[in-house]
Amino acid sequence: MMTIKTTNLGFPRLGRKREWKKAIEGYWNKNINKEALDKQLEVLHRDNLKLQSSYNLDSVPVGDFSLYDNLLDTALLFNIIPERFQGREIDDDLLFDIARGNKEHVASALIKWFNTNYHYIVPEWDNVVPKLNHNTLLERYRFALSLGINAHPVIVGPITFVALSKGGTSSFEEKVRQLIPLYTEVFHSLIQEGAELIQVDEPILVTDQAEVLKDITHEVYEAFNDAKVADKLIIQTYFEAADVKFLNGLPVKGLGLDFVHDRGNNLKQILAGDLSGDKTLFAGVIDGRNVWAADVALKQQLIEKLSEHVEDLYINPSSSLLLVPVSLEDETLDEQIKDGLSFATEKLGELEALKNLFNNNNATQFNKLKSKYETFQNQSFKNLEYNYNIPDQRSSTFEVRKVLQQQRWNLPDLPTTTIGSFPQSKEVRQYRADWKNHRITDEVYKQFLKDEIKRWIDIQEEIGLDVLVHGEFERNDMVEFFGEKLQGFLVTKYGWVQSYGSRAVKPPIIYGDVKWTHPLTIDETVYAQGLTNKPVKGMLTGPVTILNWSFERVDIPREVVQNQIALAINEEVLALEKAGIKIIQVDEPALREGLPLRSEFHKDYLDKAVHSFKLATSSVADDTQIHTHMCYSQFGQIIHAIYDLDADVISIETSRSHGDLIQDFEDINYNLGIGLGVYDIHSPRIPTEAEVTNAIERALKQIDRSLFWVNPDCGLKTRKEEEVKEALKVLVTSTQKIRNQ
């Protein structure tokens, strides 16, 4: 029997205790200098490489480690620099400014990485001259070699890179052709240094675009073959099935395929003989984007099937492990549940157990994992309860509701509001940590929250906002907060996952039936409403987002869990309404994120998502105004589903897309309330009055003035207090001037 080899596609850069995040933010806040930043990150990178190597991987990835984002790294490598940032030295400060913006220039757009909650920085091609800059990939490969680690470089492939870019006057093909000699030069440098494998990530080739990209893909890899580098390249795909027969025809060493999220289609193609014997297969057999332990017995059967059809087989996670937490080692969880979990480090252990089983006939690790999995599967919390009989349609049309809601609140022209959260200052985080660790009493903590809520109600009143929020100071994260309070969720202590830049989230784990057992947000919201005559929004997270931003169960259909969550959120919506809160925002920023990568599956997903949102929101009275919010994504594909949500007001990001989203509304008669985010909250820069005014005026060319709201593009929890105050003053001043025109 053949020897099974193991590898990895990428490892979380955050660190077990978010050391990466703390170092990066320490540099941004000028608490450490560049030398200290480099030293701290080098230690973390070294530890990541050594950790992976300790699991006897035959090859460890390098190039996955980044100061911000891998697509941005690739853009800087090839000089694809936004025009407004050109002319500067290519260094880390430039990288950070492109990603975050600075006082002079807005940041580049931020978009979800396929159907995940990770965000990438969109490369911009306007007036660029592609060339090879400082070869950081070669440096990182040399670093691994210096540690005695057998490594393979990882880079985003040219087809995917250009497909995820924007701007420029050249055609897609012309852009790709400009990059061919630059990629070739990088590949040559790595091969000369000793690289035997180079992982070229081309996930775009599992999407609908793959069909129209076949000609240019073939051209690119034939060019690499002519340059004598293709025999070291592995075309790596993930998140869906690829066209194996097409990829097999490319002159590369091997293919990387996802055998977890492929709906069984990659396996069918392998069994049909679509992969030739001279190709190496990198089989993604361990789930790279969820935290449940692998059914190693099932994986054993899969590997046996694959080994009958390929001569050179690597097994690895289905995608980069960037999408899961680092380690279970520091978690203090119920052992019954913990046995059923597997974070990034444990997934490497699963690969090692399978490798030892096949190569050494050593079943010790394998049997231990198999026993744990079987025990976990027999737990009583796997029972499923799912019954509902509530409305999934509002009782009246928006035209009727709009009149009643305006009679109730008498809001001004172009009402102003925020998305929900205000700065989570060091003091806020410290009080919450002290309360959770029983260092202060419930009474002390509740009084602190009241003081902070009152302070920010007063600030909002002074600035002149029309619809206020309580600030969400009691919440650590918009999904984790609900995971802590709803039955059926498990919240970890260190299960952090990178979302964008230094922003990390801690997704809860759905392990049992989801139920609402008590009010979740009533106390803080009602208290805030009692401080002002202006309306205060109730702030909730919607069922689609809670599901997409949690690690969901994989043993039952997603829509069943999603509808369970919807029923729980509906209970909270009705509790808020009963308490007198008549504007309620149910955020769904992840609705677009969960969209399947193949259009044939879109309708089913969107129908179920819309149904769940309506289950959560449709039971309210006509004069209760339902808001929702969505952030960084490409919305054109789902604009009709957004309309079908029937939310009275949707707030949506347009600042980083520089207003491009407005074009999506030209194709649909969108006659519901809408707020387009008029400034970028993820950048520390304060928007100018002209920028905000232009954003509003551009939107009003496409959207009826009576439907339009003015707001930032997302919550403000990550910003500093003075930044928030100054930016909101600009927002309100600009709006008031347009009202007076």
**Three-state SS letters, 467-483:** CECCECCCCCCCCHHHH
Q: How far apart are CA 220 and CA 181, in angstroms?
A: 10
Question: 284-295 pLDDT, tens per residue?
Answer: 999 999 999 999
Q: Using the 8-state DSSP alphabet, how is residue 497 labeled?
A: E
Number of helices (H), then strands (E), in the chain:
25, 20
- Centre a 10 Å sphere on the Cβ of residue 260 and count the other Cβ atoms it contains: 23
Residue given tokens 């985003």 in the structure block: 156
User: End-to-end distance of the chain based on CA atoms, in angstroms?
Assistant: 79
Residue 1 has a pLDDT of: 63
Pairing mode, if any, of strands 509-515 and 487-490? antiparallel
What is the dihedral sign for C-alpha 588, 593, 596, 598? positive
Question: 233: part of which helix (H) or strand (E)?
Answer: strand 233-236
Confidence class for position 676, pLDDT limits 50, 70, 90:
confident
**pLDDT tens digits, 515-525:** 999 999 999 99
Question: Please, what is the Cα angle at 114 between 201 and 669, to 5 degrees?
Answer: 145
Instruction: Round to whole Å and give the CA distance between 558 and 553.
Output: 8
Question: Residues forming the annotated binding site for 5-methyltetrahydropteroyltri-L-glutamate?
Answer: 21, 117, 549
CB environment 223-252: b (16+ within 10 A), e (fewer):
bbeeeebbebbbbbbbbbbbbbeebbebeb
> Percentage of the chain surpassing pLDDT 70?
96
Binding-site residue numbers for Zn(2+) are 629, 631, 640, 644, 653, 714
Q: What pLDDT does residue 653 have?
A: 74
Instruction: Please give the radius of gyration of the chain, using alpha carbons only, rounded to the nearest integer.
Output: 26
Amino acid 666: pLDDT: 63
pLDDT score at 194? 97
* pLDDT exceeds cutoff 70 at 383: no
CA 613-617-620 angle, 5° bins: 165
User: Does residue 391 have a pLDDT over 70?
Assistant: yes
Give the residue ranges of the annotated binding site for L-methionine: 419-421, 472, 587
Contacts of 185 by beta carbon, 8 Å cutoff, 6+ apart: 132
User: Residue 604 pLDDT > 70, yes or no?
Assistant: yes
CA distance to 85, 277, 294, 352, per residue, from 357 (Å): 53, 24, 15, 9
- The token pair at 145 is 């070699």
Rounded Cα distance, 351 and 17, in Å:
24
**Per-residue pLDDT reduced to its tens digit, 466-502:** 999 999 999 988 899 999 999 999 999 999 999 999 9
304 with 256: CB under 8 angstroms?
no
The pLDDT value given to residue 274? 97
Q: Which residues, listed in sequence order, are joined to residue 500 by a DSSP beta bridge?
A: 503
For tokens 């994992």, name the residue: 369
3-28 residues labelled b (16+ CB within 10 A) or e (exposed): ebbbbbbbbbbbbbebbbbbbbebbe
Residue 656 has pLDDT above 60, yes or no: no
Q: How far apart (Å, rounded) are the C-alpha atoms in residues 157 and 107?
A: 24
Distance between CA atoms of 203 and 225, rounded to whole angstroms? 21
The stretches of 147-295 forming alpha helices (DSSP H) are: 158-163, 172-192, 214-226, 244-248, 265-271
pLDDT at 633 over 60: no
Reported confidence tier of residue 403, pLDDT bands at 50, 70, 90: very high
Distances (CA, A) of 79 to 73, 98, 341, 487: 10, 13, 42, 50
| Pairing of β 110-112 and β 151-156 | unpaired
Q: Which of 708, 657, 701 is nearest to 679 (CA)?
A: 657
Asked whether the predicted pLDDT for residue 714 surpasses 70, the reply is yes
Residue 43 has pLDDT above 70, yes or no: yes
Instruction: Compute how many other C-beta atoms are within 10 angstroms of the C-beta atom of residue 595.
Output: 23
| Average pLDDT rounded to a whole number, residues 674-691 | 85
Distance between CA atoms of residues 496 and 117, nearest Å: 13
Phi-psi region of 236 (alpha: psi -120 to 50; beta: other; left: phi over 0): beta
What's the token pair of residue 377?
Answer: 């599967």
Selection from 69, 12, 113, 10 nearest residue 594 by Cα: 113
**Residue 428 · residue 456 · CB < 8 Å:** no
- Given a cut of 60, whether residue 110 has pLDDT beyond it is yes
Cβ-proximal residues to 569 (8 Å cutoff; 6+ apart), any chain: 516, 540, 541, 542, 543, 546, 586, 616
Under 8 Å between Cβ of 588 and 626: no
Residues 6+ away with beta carbon under 8 Å from 38: none
Q: How confident is the model at residue 702 (pLDDT cuts 50, 70, 90)?
A: confident
Mean pLDDT calculated for residue range 181-206: 98
> Which whole number is the average pLDDT over 61-77?
97
Residue 311 pLDDT > 80? yes
* pLDDT number for residue 665: 65
Mean pLDDT, all residues of the chain: 94
Residue at 95: amino acid letter: L
Q: What is the DSSP string of 510-572?
A: EEEEEE--S-SSHHHHHHHHTT-SS-B-EEEE-HHHHHHTSB--SSS-HHHHHHHHHHHHHHH
Looking at residues 534-559, what average pLDDT do you find? 94
Name the pLDDT band for 380 (thresholds 50, 70, 90): low
Is 670's pLDDT higher than 90?
no
- Rounded distance, CA 236 to CA 153, Å? 12
Active site residue ranges: 682
Residue 659 has pLDDT above 80, yes or no: no
Q: How confident is the model at residue 655 (pLDDT cuts 50, 70, 90)?
A: low
User: Residue ranges for the binding site?
Assistant: 21, 117, 419-421, 472, 549, 587, 629, 631, 640, 644, 653, 714
Mean pLDDT of 446-469: 97
pLDDT bucket at 637, cuts 50 / 70 / 90: confident
Residue 487's closest CA among 511, 506, 471? Answer: 511
- CB-CB neighbours of 365 under 10 Å: 17
Q: What gap in Å lies between CA 589 and CA 305, rounded to an integer?
A: 40
Confidence of residue 630 (pLDDT cuts 50, 70, 90): confident
- Ramachandran quadrant class, 455 (left: phi over 0; alpha: psi -120 to 50; beta: rest): alpha
What's the full length of the chain, in residues?
A: 741
Residue 598 pLDDT > 70, yes or no? yes
pLDDT at position 657 over 60: no
Distance CA 396, CA 402 (A): 10
Kindly state the average pLDDT of the residues 591-603. Answer: 93
Using one digit for the tens of pLDDT, what is the confidence trace for 212-270?
A: 999 999 999 999 999 999 999 999 999 999 999 999 999 999 999 999 999 999 999 99
For residue 423, give the DSSP letter.
-
In this model, does residue 365 exceed pLDDT 60?
yes
Nearest CA among 411, 575, 380 for reference residue 488: 380
Q: Which residues contact 187 (CB under 8 A, 6 or more apart)?
A: 198, 224, 227, 229, 232, 233
SS (H, E, C) 623-688: CCEEEEEECCCCCHHHHHHHHHCCCCEEEECCCCCCCHHHHHHHHCCCCCEEEEECCCCCCCCCCC
User: Is 353 within 8 Å of 324 (Cβ atoms)?
Assistant: no
The pLDDT value given to residue 652: 83
